[in-house]
């Protein structure tokens, strides 16, 4: 049964800003970190944080003071704003390579029943002050969430949502290019792409905007989920761009879009190509993935000796027509709660606390990219890896006559 527009509007409003448990808080707190800090003594909280968040150069990840204009925008527009710094050891032959990086998480602005043009423009208006805050804070590289310019409607399997797709130089790109030029900022722009040169095929794509507003390149999502309500293969299939690393004015970056974070070899490939920062723009819900969220990116940062920026959208998006996904659950009109919790992970196993589970937010971190090489030297993962052995196994595995290397106890069959 189709939901009325006013009902959808009320549902979307309830998903926005209050701290009730229904709207994504943890026992009334914005994040697990805030809950623990409020509930534990300072000494116990310090030890718990050491275990949960790790240490950077032997000490807890430090907060940084952000400029007053950025703080003022955060207060005026009610978005979570946090800042941290990852240090590296001082070197004798290299100067520090400190880059300021930002992540934006956000909810949609209008009910999904509103005209599509109004929905997209309302999202643009919502993001303006958050991007301005990033610019005021001197962010060098900024990444937005997966398909930020639309509701994450891929649960519905309705093809009308394809209207949000745009070419890489489309409306969203033009909107962000102005900020890129204004703030001398590299921006990662994850969109629903319509490839006009190849039969208007649709892709899930991240476009890299250089700090002069130029398009450096694009990457298309490598792994497409077919789990729960994530019916994305109705709209687009696996990408065809490999594992590109983009050399920008501020460092070498890559984009592992959403579901790719569940694939360790996907993370590995970006590392082999020389990435120093890998962004994971996502749209994922609590009941499906939240226990995995703080683990996978952090593990990737450790295993591949690079920084990871994890971004997730916020809120509950209610759609006009209830849907099912063949999983035995009754029909429903929403994906579930997108729990935000964007954060950074570093190659030394340290990570920042997360942004809010229910509010829009901007996470900023200074990071010394020298830490990447320092951790490679310390652990020697590249040196001790057995790529030729892995390659041999994979080459055999992809053939139809593959036989697993299993050695059975001969007594099992007597």
Helix H, strand E, coil C: the string for the chain is CCCCHHHHHHHHHHCCCCCCHHHCCECCECCHHHHHHHHCCHHHHHHHHHHHHCCECCECCEECCCCHHHHHHHHHHCCEEEEEEECCCCCCCCCCCEEEEEEEECCCCCCCCCCHHHHHHHHHHHHHHHHHHHHHCCCCEEECCCCCCCCCHHHCCCHHHHHHCECCCCHHHHHHHHHHHHHCCEEEEEEEEEECCCCCEEEEEEEEECCCCCEEEEEECCCCCCECCECHHHCCCCCCCCCCCEEECCEEEEECCHHHHHCHHHHHHHHHCCCCEEEEEECCEHHHHCCCHHHHHHHHHHHHCCEEEEEECEEEEEEEEEECCCCCCCCEEEEEEEECCCEEECCCCCECCCCCCCCCEEEEEEEECHHHHHHHHHHCHHHHCCHHHHHHHHHHHCCCCCCCCCCCCHHHHC
Catalytic choice (11, 146, 193, 232): 146
Residue (of 320, 291, 279) closest to 105 by Cα position: 279
Our answer to whether residue 182 is catalytic in this structure is no
Catalytic residue among 218, 221, 232, 372: 221
**Active-site residue, selected from the candidate residues 143, 258, 351, 372:** 258
**Is 90 considered catalytic here?**
no
Q: How far apart are CA 407 and CA 265, in angstroms?
A: 26
**Closest C-alpha among 88, 176, 101 to residue 365:** 101
The reply to whether 258 belongs to the active site is yes
Which residues are known to be catalytic?
146, 221, 258
């Amino acid at each position: 049964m189709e939901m009325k527009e006013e009902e959808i509007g009320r549902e979307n409003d309830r998903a926005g800003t209050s701290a009730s448990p229904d709207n994504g808080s943890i026992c009334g707190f914005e994040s697990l970190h805030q809950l623990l800090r409020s509930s534990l003594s300072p000494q116990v909280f310090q030890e718990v944080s050491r275990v949960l968040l790790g240490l950077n150069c032997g000490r807890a990840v430090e907060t940084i003071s952000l400029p007053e204009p950025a703080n003022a925008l955060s207060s005026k527009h009610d978005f979570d704003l946090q800042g941290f710094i990852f240090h590296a050891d001082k070197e004798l032959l290299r100067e520090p390579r400190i880059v300021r990086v930002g992540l934006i998480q956000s909810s949609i602005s209008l009910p999904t029943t509103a005209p599509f043009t109004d929905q997209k423009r309302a999202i643009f208006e919502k993001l303006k002050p958050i991007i301005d805050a990033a610019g005021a804070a001197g962010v060098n590289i900024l990444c937005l969430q997966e398909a930020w310019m639309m509701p994450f409607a891929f649960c519905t399997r309705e093809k009308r949502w394809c209207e949000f797709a745009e070419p890489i130089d489309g409306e969203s790109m033009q909107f962000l290019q102005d900020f890129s030029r204004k703030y001398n900022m590299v921006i990662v722009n994850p969109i629903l792409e319509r490839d006009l040169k190849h039969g208007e095929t649709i892709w899930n794509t991240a476009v890299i905007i250089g700090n002069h507003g130029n398009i450096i390149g694009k990457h298309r999502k490598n792994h497409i989920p077919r789990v729960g309500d994530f019916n994305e293969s109705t709209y687009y299939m696996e990408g065809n761009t490999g594992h590109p690393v983009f050399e920008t004015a501020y460092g070498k970056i890559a984009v592992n879009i959403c579901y790719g974070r569940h694939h360790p070899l996907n993370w590995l490939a970006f590392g082999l190509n020389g990435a120093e920062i890998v962004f994971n723009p996502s749209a994922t819900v609590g009941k499906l993935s939240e226990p995995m969220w703080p683990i996978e990116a952090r593990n990737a940062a450790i295993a591949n000796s690079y920084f990871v920026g994890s971004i997730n959208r916020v809120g509950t998006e209610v759609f006009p027509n209830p849907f099912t996904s063949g999983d035995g659950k009754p029909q429903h009109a929403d994906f579930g709660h997108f729990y935000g919790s964007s954060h950074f992970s570093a190659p030394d196993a340290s990570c920042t606390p997360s942004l809010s589970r229910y509010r829009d937010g901007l996470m900023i971190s200074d990071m010394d990219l020298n830490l990447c090489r320092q951790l490679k030297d310390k652990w020697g993962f590249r040196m001790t890896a057995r790529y030729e052995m892995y390659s041999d196994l994979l080459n055999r595995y992809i053939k139809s006559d593959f036989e697993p290397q299993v050695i059975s106890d001969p007594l099992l069959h007597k």
